[in-house]
Amino acid sequence: MGGWVEGDPVGDRVFLDLPGFSPERGGFLPSVRVAYETWGTLAADGGNAVLVEHALTGDSHVVGAAGPGHPTPGWWDGLVGPGAPLDTDRFFVVCANVLGGCQGTTGPSSPAPDGVPWGARFPEVTVGDQVRVEAALADALGIDRWACVVGGSMGGMRALEWAVAMPDRVAALFFLASGAVATADQIGTQTTQQAAIRADPVHGLGIARRIAHLTYRSAYELGERFGNQVQDDGRYAVASYLDHHADKLERRFDADSYVLLTEAMNSWDVGRGRGGVDAALGRVTARPVVAGVDSDRLYPIALQQQVADGLGVPLEVIPSPYGHDGFLIEVEAVGKLLRGLLG
């Protein structure tokens, strides 16, 4: 149950240990371990590196089979590899598990100085904190400037933060199925998920996943797949589907990480301290592509339109019946946009 812990199979992870870190909202981490994976070869000048940013329950395992250390196969299979949109014959691709995560990077399930897992004592972190840790990883790898930063959903927040906070370090930006600031709808949904976890430490994560998964898929798709069908065991088919995803997440994710990361998403506002969203977007010098999924009800198209308008580029709309999860499922459409951005 839960995330990766020391002593579990390492799999394809590589680790970097960083010194003490002070999150912007207080607290102190005496050290930070970053778990990451890479594909391809870094050029001598470091100029061919691409950073892929994972979403809420993702991790560093963008592509590859499930196996020891990796309970699930790559979450964006088809995008990274020889001849793929992120062509590893050309690019050096990096993906790191996020600060506060539970797949090898320091988070609530990591040991605190007293030897006991941090749990709910882990300091609050922001998207900005997470990007500062990623910048330290880039420094350690010898990457001064990313050829591209790619991210969808929570990963889109970090991709945009990179382009705004450190514009000289990002040549191209692929911003997908995300927004520039958390909405009341997103905050309301995610605080409800947090409440479920706090009320039931054993089963709350599964309940939170059920709530979340309904926002990840479209009403149309759920209706077409399940309707009001009842299975032989007496459960509605759609309820059985949600149970399945809840059980899967409970086996591979840490509940305290889920609370911490959804709170980082709730606090997300790229314009905070920068004069507002428009002023923040005005800092971006990267060549951008902004894309969204037409059936996304968690991060509706209007949120990507705001970013596209602020960056002065057309919005790319991906048709899909799958809702928010379309950004992971519609690999061909996403790959086409990536190829166009990277030339």
Digitized pLDDT (tens) for each residue of the chain, 343 residues in all: 589 999 999 999 999 999 999 999 999 999 999 999 999 999 999 999 999 999 999 999 999 999 999 999 999 999 999 999 999 999 999 999 999 999 999 999 999 999 999 999 999 999 999 999 999 999 999 999 999 999 999 999 999 999 999 999 999 999 999 999 999 999 999 999 999 999 999 999 999 999 999 999 999 999 999 999 999 999 999 999 999 999 999 999 999 999 999 999 999 999 999 999 999 999 999 999 999 999 999 999 999 999 999 999 999 999 999 999 999 999 999 999 999 999 9
**Last-in-domain residue among 254, 273, 299:** 254
Considering the domain architecture, whether residues 104 and 219 belong to the same structural domain is answered as: no
Considering the domain architecture, whether residues 46 and 127 belong to the same structural domain is answered as: yes
Considering the domain architecture, whether residues 112 and 228 belong to the same structural domain is answered as: no
State the DSSP H helix or E strand holding residue 134, giving kind and residue range, or none if neither.
Answer: helix 127-141
- Domain-located, residue 334: yes
CATH number, domain with residue 170: 3.40.50.1820
Q: State residue 2's pLDDT score.
A: 86
Considering the domain architecture, whether residues 30 and 82 belong to the same structural domain is answered as: yes
For residue 76, the SS3 value is coil
- Domain-located, residue 4: no
Question: Which range marks the domain in which residue 196 is found?
Answer: 185-254
**Last-in-domain residue among 207, 225, 254:** 254
**Last-in-domain residue among 213, 233, 254:** 254
Q: Alpha carbon of 137 to those of 18, 23, 26, 213: distances in Å?
A: 8, 16, 22, 31
Considering the domain architecture, whether residues 64 and 119 belong to the same structural domain is answered as: yes
- Domain-located, residue 87: yes
Q: Alpha carbon of 133 to those of 13, 203, 231, 286: distances in Å?
A: 17, 31, 47, 20
Q: What is the reported pTM?
A: 0.97
Considering the domain architecture, whether residues 166 and 152 belong to the same structural domain is answered as: yes
Considering the domain architecture, whether residues 269 and 123 belong to the same structural domain is answered as: yes
What is the domain count for the chain? 2
Considering the domain architecture, whether residues 178 and 209 belong to the same structural domain is answered as: no
For residue 21, the SS3 value is strand
- Domain-located, residue 8: no
- Domain-located, residue 3: no
First to last CA, the chain: 43
> How crowded is the C-beta side of 311, counted as CA atoms within 13 Å?
28
Q: Return the beta strands (E) in the chain as ranges.
A: 14-18, 32-39, 49-53, 80-81, 86-87, 92-96, 148-152, 172-176, 287-293, 315-318
Considering the domain architecture, whether residues 174 and 190 belong to the same structural domain is answered as: no
Considering the domain architecture, whether residues 46 and 169 belong to the same structural domain is answered as: yes
**What one-letter code names the amino acid at 79?**
L
- Domain-located, residue 5: no
- Domain-located, residue 35: yes
Question: Catalytic amino acids?
Answer: 153, 296, 324
Considering the domain architecture, whether residues 176 and 190 belong to the same structural domain is answered as: no
- Domain-located, residue 323: yes
For residue 291, the SS3 value is strand
Contact 165, 256 (CB under 8 A): no
CATH number, domain with residue 226: 1.10.1740.110
Considering the domain architecture, whether residues 93 and 197 belong to the same structural domain is answered as: no
Strand partners, 292: 317
Q: State residue 1's pLDDT score.
A: 59
Two tokens at 302? 């209007």
